[in-house]
Structure 1
Amino acid sequence: MFETIFTAANRALVAGLLAGVFLIVFANVVGRYGFGVSLAWIEEAARHMMILGAFCGAGLALREGRLVAITALPDHLPAGARIALRWIIVAVMFAFMAVLLWLGLKFVAFGWDKETMSTGISRGIPYMAIPLGCAIFLVHLALFARRFVVQEFEFHAEDTPSDRQV
């Protein structure tokens, strides 16, 4: 139940961020070319929203088997070794994202007293994309690790067979 709600909320967050980027950039283009008015903060806000969307979407990509992977070595190993290697990969991903979460928190603290150029907000606010995205990824990894190892990736009805990684 938690996993279903968490994943749906994560999908809604990423979709909302990307829709927000589209809307503000589209409005700025219409304003610039239609009315000769451009807002300076739009480019900065769109960049920060795209970065947040990318970090928050990494866990969803993990679930769907859409992270970049090199499978030549595991595909040529015996089944037991293949499973062991995938568990090692899970451990490495977990360690990497945990360290990135910790460093991201330090980065937020470092930038908190500085302001962004266009919006004038604390730089720590957009920097929060790093620890927030890493935390979300770690939750996805904890919930999905066993299925990742046996490659039971999630697919959606709109996916075509050629989109699936086996």
Structure 2
Amino acid sequence: MQKINKTLEGISALLLIILTAIVTIQIFARAASLSLPWSEELARQVLIAFSFLGGALAYYKGGELKITMLIDLFPKTLRKWNDLIIAILSVIVSLIVLYSGMLFLKDIWGTPTVALRWNKGIFFLAIPISFLLIFLKLSQNLVSMFKPKGMQR
């Protein structure tokens, strides 16, 4: 899992650099009264990929969103049951989004972008990839809930 984390960090950093460069070029082009229609389209597509892969990276770093104000008031046993139910539901939801993302990718694959004429599917590959990675991490977390305390990492 550490290798996945490092890979996601590298890809996210690269996408952020690309996005920053594109937007910077776009700003200077507009200041010079030039129109670069491809820059807006590419920035949007890179942002989509960055958002989904960044979400997967957040799960690998333990940065998923949790609001525990009410749950913290529960007795310890009830909190454990709540955590288990949430983990199971999260795995199910990630599988649903993974499946939906694959169906969406199948529908959009081969459709060219307007300005660049690139395959839109390349950018939207980030959806099933990110949710596959999220599913793997959530599954690992779920399995670790059933391990005895001394065996957990």
Structure 1: 4+ residue segments shifted above 4 A: 144-148
Structure 1 vs Structure 2 CA RMSD: 2.2
1:57 paired with 2:57, answer no
C-alpha deviation, 1:117, in angstroms? 1.4
Give the Cα separation in 2 of the matches to 1:147 and 1:97: 18
User: What is the SS of the residue equivalent to 1:17?
Assistant: helix
Identical columns (%): 26
Matched, 1:78 2:47: no
Distance 1:105 1:147, change over 3 A: same
**Which position in structure 1 is the counterpart of 2:14?**
16
Unaligned runs of 5+ in 1: 149-166
- From 73, 88, 101, the equivalent of 2:98 is 101
1:67 deviates by 2.8
TM-score by length of 2: 0.82
State the alpha-carbon separation in 1 of the partners of residues 39 and 142 from structure 2: 38
Aligned residues: 146
Whole-angstrom CA distance in 2 between matches of 1:16 and 1:145: 31
**Greater alpha carbon shift after TM alignment, 95-104 vs 53-62:** 53-62
Match of 2:151 in 1: none
Of 33, 36, 39, the match for 1:36: 33
Q: Matches of 1:73 and 1:19 in 2, distance apart?
A: 40
- TM-score between both structures, scaled by the size of structure 1: 0.77
